[in-house]
Amino acid sequence: MSHRLFIAIRPPEPVIDAMIDVMDGIENARWQDEAQLHLTLRYVGEVDTPTANDIADALGRIRFAPFDLTYRGVGHFERSHWPSAVWAGVVPSPGLDTLAKKVERACVSAGCAPETRRFTPHVTLARLNRSSGPVGDWMARHGDFACAPVRVDHFTLYESTLSHSGSHYDPVVRFSLA
């Protein structure tokens, strides 16, 4: 059996509520469902059940102190010089960077290929395509997006299931930071 996995931090409800408040105003944007809002630490992709179990075991060995995280600002990613997504940003955090590195090491030790993309912490708010409206006005309106710092004391291994209506994310294992 195959599993499509990723490891993420789910923002707390007050942060999710603030994100939902800015999710409007770009024509033909595919806004994320509330249940899809997360900060990806590592995308794993398709793996078999034994590898999924190895990943969960390796993640369970991570030891790390809880840390504070601040969600602030908005931005967008481009693909072929065209906006492909808009996101809520994250203030740089040594705690988050260290956790992401530990998650990466755990995934590699479980047999995953090393991640080649630079870690860019964010929460995707909408996916865009060539029929989507411009993002400049939206970014100007919401550039001051900010939430009070929140405590991160856990992260989660998720399984993603693709369907005609989009992706559905199921938490598989929650790992507490100790």
Region of 103 on the Ramachandran plot (φ > 0 left; ψ -120 to 50 alpha; else beta): alpha
For residues 10 and 36, is the Cβ–Cβ distance under 8 A?
A: no
Q: Which of 3, 76, 122, 142 is catalytic?
A: 122
**Nearest C-alpha neighbor of 149 from the set 83, 92, 79:** 92
Residues 89, 92: Cα–Cα separation, whole Å: 9
- Please give the backbone phi and psi of residue 17, each rounded to the nearest 5 degrees, phi first: -60, -45
Residues 96, 110: Cα–Cα separation, whole Å: 21
Using the 8-state DSSP alphabet, how is residue 120 labeled?
A: -
Asked if 38 is an active-site residue, the reply is yes
Q: Which of 38, 76, 81, 142 is catalytic?
A: 38
Rg (CA), the chain: 16
Residues 64, 178: Cα–Cα separation, whole Å: 6
User: How many Cα atoms are found within 13 Å in the side-chain-facing hemisphere of 39?
Assistant: 26
Asked if 3 is an active-site residue, the reply is no
Annotated catalytic sites, by residue? Answer: 38, 122
